[in-house]
Amino acid sequence: MREELLAALRARFATVSRTGDGAGVVGPEALAEAERLLDFLAAPEGVDHEVLYTAGLLHWMRAVFLPGEQGRQAWSHAARLLLPLYLARPDALPEQVRSFFAQAYGQDEPAGEERAHASAEALSDLAMFLLERFTRLRRPADGEAATALLRRATRVLPAGHPARPVVLSNLGYALLLGDALMAPEHESTRPPNVDEAVTVLREALQDTPREHPNHARCANGLALAVRAKGLATRDLALLAEAVDLFRLAVDTATAADGNRPRMLTDLGSSLLIQAAGGAGPAGPAAPDEAVTALDEAVAVLREAVRDTPEGAAERRERLRLLARAERLRASQAPRPARAPLSPETRRRVEELTGLMRRTIPATSDGTPDEPDNWLAVAARLIGVAPSDGQGHHAQLLDLAARLLRDPAGTDVEREAADFYRRRSGHLSPGDRLDTMLTRILAPPGTPPAPADPSHLADLDEVLALHERVLRELPDDLPERASLEIGQLMTQLARQRHDLADPDGTGLEESLALLTRTMKLLPSLMASLNLSATMVGDLAVMGGALLSPFESLSMIEDGLKRNRAKLAGLPPGHPERTTTLKALTHTLFLQYQLTHEEPVYQEAAGLARRIAAADLAEAVRIVLAWGVAARLRATSAAPPGEPDPRSSGLARLSSEEAATAIENRDAPAALETLEEGRAHMLSSALNARRELANLRAADPRLATRFLALREQVRATVAEPVFEPGPEELARTRGLAQDWSELVGQVQALPAFGRFLMPLPLGAPDLRPSAAEGPVVTINVNPRRCDALALCADGVRLVPLPGLRAAELVEQAEAFHAAIRVVHGAPGPLAGQAERVLLDTLGWLWDVLAEPVLTELGLTGPPGEGPWPRLWWSPAGALNSLPLHAAGHHTIAGASVLDRAVSSYTPTVRALLHSRARPVPPRRTGLTVAMPVTPGHAALPETAGEAAEVTARIHGRALVGAQASRAAVLAALPGASVAHFACHAGGDPYEPSASHLLLHDGPLSVTEIGRLDLDGAELAYLSACATARGGARLADEALHLASAFQLAGYAQAVATLWEIGDHAAATMAADFHRELGESIGDPAPIPGALALHTATRRMRAAIPGRPSAWAAFLHAGA
């Protein structure tokens, strides 16, 4: 490209020389070519002189032909590029150019040493040109070249030369700029050029008189360098010196200095650092000193905001810093004369406080009226309420609860400041300072990505349909109140995309709309005979009624049923429209669970058809479409998402966790992931736990609750899309009964949050690490990290080598190789096994080894028990064997050689498994299917069953004995269940997974519906029993989790297909390892037994990871 551009510009020069016509050099095409050529200007030790000459000559020719200001600008560009050549190598320039510079110098043209000094100044100017490009284009070569030129210039200019301080100052800024743009300022690593920057800027400031125009710039540059060094070394004296230097820069900057607002901002942010770090030059600062620093910070930041024009990009950053300074100052001890908030911050506080006062119904004593307090109910529904947990979300709602109790009497700014202080209270002093530095120094957060135009278009379309229905259909329409609520909710969803407007109009309009919504919502809900409490009770009904497998199965069955019925109905049939509406409604329900764009598009397309044909027939479809469109606009996967299979909730929690990690808050990141992953499974486990507690506390009330639940479940199992008056009355009656019964349960001591989400902070989760660390992995397009929950807290392990897109590719290649192993014996299978080993090595390099190193597991353990470790992966990682990661040809370089691994979908799921009691006497159930019609024979399963039965007292169901009814009848009495059979499933239908028995499949839905006492270990010797589907990859919905939901604290399962012989060998070895522990009162050591058996099989067939890496242990 360089040669082509040089040739193109030379051709233009030749045309000018031949014709005298400058059209070829003054046009935009020539300028664009020169600009592209300058991409090649930077060279390792300076600049490419050929590029410099050619680009400079173009601007010189443009200056000859262009009139007025355009010509003057071209002369300026030409002089900047060509003057270094003229002073160093004048013979390289055309005669006309040399004459131009000679005429410009006249009698003062330098010679000898003066010419060398002038050349150095010209190099400094050229370096600043490169720095401007570096700042704009972020090309490292430009910054490196500028620094090289400035270093060369400083070597030429002697001490005392009037230009030397300016060149030194330029060099200091170039060094700082390179460090800042190549490595963020808030990183704890020491910037590579900071020491040199401090040295040259000290000399520049020392040699620049106070009255010199460059003095303030030198002081500010030195302050930036000293601050960067102080932050990297945690040197408090340097931080204090930086503050003094910033003050000097501000004091000596003139009114005409356009950089003064930037200097004020730098001073303000440094004062915030000094106050937040709690230290001055002599050590820890007294509270009064911190208050003084914050007062000064507020003052200088207000001045910076005042001097920054409205609409300038920098104004947003300065307002953000000002608000942060005011929050920090508000958290200090009360003072008699505290300065008021800035108008901008005060306006925001008053708007939010006023909204609280207007929208929260209160009793005579000023506290919220809970039954009708929609915000309070919503807070309980999303899992955060006062004193319910120690996590940062619970603390946030603790603040919200105080505002709800007394919005008029709450000091909003002090409460907010206290919240931010408590939120960082769990961090170590070093992490706390890093978090504060990140929040102060980091540039404003990346603004939200622009909304997908199709999402906004659908919201607009749904709003228009709501308006049409409300306008054109009768006033007594039964769904009118629901439509008005949906209209308000959709308007809010649409409005949220305007909140980022710099002029604040988006916020103003959203506040007005929110106020209107909160005013109308109670009356609209009352017209439906629904109170806030009843809505809250109904919202949590799903987890108590159905397992996640049942919920998915109902939707999938409904889709199949309606599609089949629709296919059999001729056009014009009276049931065709009803069936089409039922199909559309079910598709919208499926989208709410899976967030799959094709599902949404199919449903929306059908909805448009229905509405176009007859608006009166589309009322309920419009309501369902509104729910889906709002969800899509807020949580759809962004374009280019590497793993779009994640649910919207999991994706949002991953984003929030990545942000928390960037803010150095690992505990908050873990809490966020816990709340967003395996949400359906967690809700079901929470309901099982609550019901068990209710049976123990009030058996009669528990019996009533279970009976009512079965009535509601029967209604849900046979849904009627458009119920008539009788069905509606019956449904409302059941809803009322449900709400009243839930209210009775919640009145019991310690049951106030019955069936509500359980908010858990990192301290609440920490007991799960009593037996070993729990490692949660966040895979995000921005960054990947492991969060290791240990007995002493949460440790962050950055994983820079793990990238989200590459992970998806590796997982797909891994399972493609598995298919080859099982489908193409011979050389191809051997090659596929090598692919598996390579993937295990990659997984070790990018993930497992960094985690184990952080945990101190740097080699095989010595004498004593093996260390334990739990993995909690997500997305594509769920399909890869983390427990087998490693370079298995190198001794000790694998997870199998360093720790015993188990898996858990979430930390709270592990807590649930740990809480299961150990049965007083263990009994077993062995199910084996040597022959299954339509599938390959498994002859070794018979021997496998005999081996297991010989070691665990219990019952064996083999072949024809293993009917569905017999197995379901035997499971409640089996503490250890062993299945040796075929398994099946559909990656796009998680509820379709099943075990194949003699008379048909035993589905995950049937297994997950069980609630077994005394269950402890399920061994699933079948294919892919721990592999979730491509749909809802973060929900951990598979056979192993179904058995855990049914009550089994531990499960042994497989990630992919396994051969009959390998399965029988592993099972026999596993049960032999358990040995006498079956009779011990302690929990079964299932993880250790599987670990030992896996290592033994690896030693026997090291080149076949498809056999020994497939088996994993899940649970306690």
> Quick one: tokens of 833?
């096994």
pLDDT at 934: 83
Q: Average pLDDT in the 553-569 region? A: 86
Q: 658 with 778: CB under 8 angstroms?
A: yes
For residues 803 and 713, the model is more confident at 803
DSSP bridge partners of 977: 925, 1018
In which band, very low, low, confident or very high, does the pLDDT at 184 lie, cut at 50, 70 and 90?
Answer: very low
Whole-angstrom distance, CA of residue 662 vs CA of residue 442: 10
User: Strand, coil or helix: what is 481?
Assistant: helix
Amino acid code (one letter) for 84: P
- Reduce the secondary structure of 238-293 to three states and give it as a string: HHHHHHHHHHHHHHHCCCCCCCHHHHHHHHHHHHHHHHHHCEECCEECCHHHHHHH
User: Strand, coil or helix: what is 943?
Assistant: helix
Instruction: Indicate the CATH number for domain 115-257.
Output: 1.25.40.10
pLDDT at 713: 74
Average pLDDT, rounded, for the chain: 80
User: Strand, coil or helix: what is 461?
Assistant: helix
Per-residue pLDDT reduced to its tens digit, 889-923: 999 999 999 999 999 988 988 888 888 888 888 89
In which band, very low, low, confident or very high, does the pLDDT at 440 lie, cut at 50, 70 and 90?
Answer: low
Whole-angstrom distance, CA of residue 297 vs CA of residue 282: 20
Q: How many CA atoms lie within 13 A of 850 on its CB side?
A: 19
Sheet strand arrangement including 954-958: 793-798, 784-790, 774-779, 868-872, 900-903, 1111-1115, 1050-1054, 1017-1021, 976-980, 924-928, 954-958
Please state the φ and ψ torsions of residue 1076, each to the nearest 5 degrees: -70, -10
Strand (E) or helix (H) holding 759: none
pLDDT at 447: 46
In which band, very low, low, confident or very high, does the pLDDT at 977 lie, cut at 50, 70 and 90?
Answer: very high
In which band, very low, low, confident or very high, does the pLDDT at 842 lie, cut at 50, 70 and 90?
Answer: very high
- Reduce the secondary structure of 586-646 to three states and give it as a string: HHHHHHHHHCCHHHHHHHHHHHHHHHHHCHHHHHHHHHHHHHHHHHHHHHCCCCCCCCCCC
Residue 677 DSSP class: S
Whole-angstrom distance, CA of residue 456 vs CA of residue 170: 48
pLDDT at 823: 80
Whole-angstrom distance, CA of residue 681 vs CA of residue 667: 22
Strand (E) or helix (H) holding 722: none
Q: Average pLDDT in the 952-980 region? A: 92
pLDDT at 109: 81
User: Strand, coil or helix: what is 1011?
Assistant: coil
Q: Is the pLDDT of residue 304 over 80?
A: yes
Per-residue pLDDT reduced to its tens digit, 444-465: 444 445 567 778 888 889 999 9
Whole-angstrom distance, CA of residue 648 vs CA of residue 655: 11
Q: Is the pLDDT of residue 696 over 50?
A: yes
> Quick one: tokens of 821?
């192993």
Amino acid code (one letter) for 757: P
Q: How many CA atoms lie within 13 A of 731 on its CB side?
A: 18
Which residue intervals of 644-678 are DSSP H helices?
648-662, 666-676
Q: Is the pLDDT of residue 386 over 50?
A: no
Per-residue pLDDT reduced to its tens digit, 271-284: 888 876 644 333 44
pLDDT at 671: 86
> Quick one: tokens of 848?
């497992």
| Highest-confidence segment of 190-199, 426-435, 973-982 | 973-982
Measured CA to CA in angstroms, residue 280 lies from 275, 283, 289, 314, 382 at distances of 8, 5, 8, 29, 43
Q: Average pLDDT in the 862-868 region? A: 91
Whole-angstrom distance, CA of residue 641 vs CA of residue 597: 13
pLDDT at 1033: 63
At residue 499's C-alpha, the angle toward residues 495 and 505, to 5°, is 90
Residue 662 DSSP class: H
For residues 1076 and 500, the model is more confident at 1076
Strand (E) or helix (H) holding 517: helix 505-527
Q: Average pLDDT in the 139-166 region? A: 90
Q: Are strands 1111-1115 and 1050-1054 parallel, antiparallel or unpaired?
A: antiparallel
Whole-angstrom distance, CA of residue 199 vs CA of residue 189: 19
Q: Is the pLDDT of residue 653 over 60?
A: yes
Fold entry, domain 916-1115: Rossmann fold (3.40.50)
User: Strand, coil or helix: what is 392?
Assistant: helix
pLDDT at 243: 93
User: Strand, coil or helix: what is 932?
Assistant: coil
Q: Is the pLDDT of residue 312 over 50?
A: yes
Strand (E) or helix (H) holding 699: helix 699-717
Percent of the chain with pLDDT strictly greater than 90: 28
Which of left, alpha, beta for 987 (phi over 0: left; psi -120 to 50: alpha)? alpha
> Quick one: tokens of 774?
């729990």
In which band, very low, low, confident or very high, does the pLDDT at 745 lie, cut at 50, 70 and 90?
Answer: confident
Q: 1087 with 876: CB under 8 angstroms?
A: no
Sheet strand arrangement including 989-997: 983-986, 989-997, 1000-1003
Q: 896 with 1098: CB under 8 angstroms?
A: yes
Per-residue pLDDT reduced to its tens digit, 17-28: 888 888 888 888
pLDDT at 91: 83
Q: Average pLDDT in the 1046-1060 region? A: 91
> Quick one: tokens of 495?
């409005």
Q: How many helices (H) and strands (E) does the chain have?
A: 46, 18
Evaluate the CA torsion angle 738, 743, 745, 750 in order and state its sign: positive
Per-residue pLDDT reduced to its tens digit, 86-133: 888 888 888 888 887 887 787 778 888 888 898 888 889 888 988 888
For residues 715 and 615, the model is more confident at 615
Whole-angstrom distance, CA of residue 390 vs CA of residue 431: 19
Whole-angstrom distance, CA of residue 746 vs CA of residue 240: 56
* Nearest to 38, CA basis, from 46, 26, 47: 47
DSSP bridge partners of 994: 984, 1003
Q: Residue 740's Cα: distance from chain center in Å?
A: 39
- Reduce the secondary structure of 1097-1111 to three states and give it as a string: HHHHCCCCHHHHCCE
Cβ neighbors of 896 (< 8 A, separation 6 or more) are 883, 884, 886, 888, 1091, 1094, 1095, 1098
Least confident of 45-49, 425-429, 798-802, 923-927: 425-429
> Quick one: tokens of 610?
């229905």
DSSP bridge partners of 340: none
pLDDT at 1093: 96
**pTM of the predicted protein model:** 0.65
Q: Average pLDDT in the 990-1006 region? A: 86
Whole-angstrom distance, CA of residue 675 vs CA of residue 673: 5
Q: Residue 826's Cα: distance from chain center in Å?
A: 43
Per-residue pLDDT reduced to its tens digit, 36-72: 888 888 887 788 888 888 888 888 888 888 888 888 8
Whole-angstrom distance, CA of residue 11 vs CA of residue 15: 6
Whole-angstrom distance, CA of residue 71 vs CA of residue 689: 80
pLDDT at 94: 87
* Nearest to 987, CA basis, from 702, 707, 677, 645: 645
User: At which residue do the structure tokens 């622009």 appear?
Assistant: 450
Which of left, alpha, beta for 160 (phi over 0: left; psi -120 to 50: alpha)? left
pLDDT at 500: 46
Least confident of 79-93, 649-663, 862-876: 649-663
Whole-angstrom distance, CA of residue 180 vs CA of residue 177: 5
Least confident of 73-82, 104-113, 1008-1017: 104-113
CA torsion 1105→1110→1115→1116, rounded to 10°? Answer: -40
How many other C-beta atoms lie within 10 A of the C-beta of residue 930?
A: 19
For residues 192 and 923, the model is more confident at 923
Q: Is the pLDDT of residue 825 over 60?
A: yes
pLDDT at 514: 64
> Quick one: tokens of 485?
């609520």
